[in-house]
Structure 1
């Protein structure tokens, strides 16, 4: 199955599908984050599609988009060895196709793009309680690095 997926750079024509994916992702992540607004978006899709500093990819099966993800080049903190890194996000696979290793290939495509831009490090964020995503990322070589903590003050 995953060998039959065709990956390509997203285009502006893909935005309606990507907006649907984004809302599904937000709905899935809502239980992990009480701070999410009732109506919100995460991504600047125009930027991710048109910028030379970002690559938003989609994967299609039988000409239907079923997966996406992006990498964008981000300036690292001034005290880090690498001055830039690739920040990855919008990792989405259509629920009908999950559990088949598709996200691994999506990440592999983004790693390849990052290396082509001479980027030597990739990072992403994932909710602590999103165990399926944590497992997928760890299976792809990502390691926990920094933990963000929060407290409600009132």
Structure 2
């Protein structure tokens, strides 16, 4: 289903970038995006295993009703991805549910064009249509460019996770 089913023509831009729901036909490219995400995150986290690993169950992300996996497409090529997963919040929080955002990826030659902003905007529209207003995401503390990009979209730091290895 195209995002335009939620917000008519809101996520088409001048370059003909279309943000749409991912399909099983997109899986091969999404698996490559996933490996690119993992490669980008390894320098920030020495606890990530070496070799081929997976973060995501892409088939489930496409099928589950509490997850919206989106891709951005330009001239028939996938150039970006992102998802929102609706979760139940802790009972002591003001909101009953929140949407966790992840798998934010834009191919290098298309970075800096606002594509991630389009995907997050579309995901926010989807979460609002599901009655969820709280958005959360995780970003490595040392990933300053990503932090700045998310701050421009209105996100702010909430909690710092700390660890100690042996």
| TM norm structure 2 | 0.89
**1:83 and 2:96 correspond:** yes
Q: How does 1:5-154 map to 2 (within 5 A)?
A: 5-38=17-50, 39-152=52-165, 154=166
Aligned residues: 153
SS in 1 for 2:160: coil
Q: Cα RMSD (Å) of the superposition?
A: 1.2
Cα distance in 1 for residues equivalent to 2:20 and 2:112: 21
Where does the alignment leave 5 or more consecutive residues of structure 1 unmatched?
none
CA contact 1:6–1:61 (8 Å) conserved in 2: yes
Cα distance in 1 for residues equivalent to 2:67 and 2:29: 19
CA contact 1:2–1:101 (8 Å) conserved in 2: no
Cα distance in 2 for residues equivalent to 1:139 and 1:110: 16
CA contact 1:7–1:58 (8 Å) conserved in 2: yes
Q: Which segment is superposed worse, 41-50 or 61-70?
A: 41-50
CA contact 1:85–1:120 (8 Å) conserved in 2: yes
Where does the alignment leave 5 or more consecutive residues of structure 2 unmatched?
1-11
**Residue-by-residue CA offset, 1:61-98 (whole Å, 9 max, x unaligned):** 01100011000101111111111100000000010000
Cα distance in 1 for residues equivalent to 2:124 and 2:55: 22
Cα distance in 1 for residues equivalent to 2:99 and 2:135: 4
SS in 2 for 1:26: helix
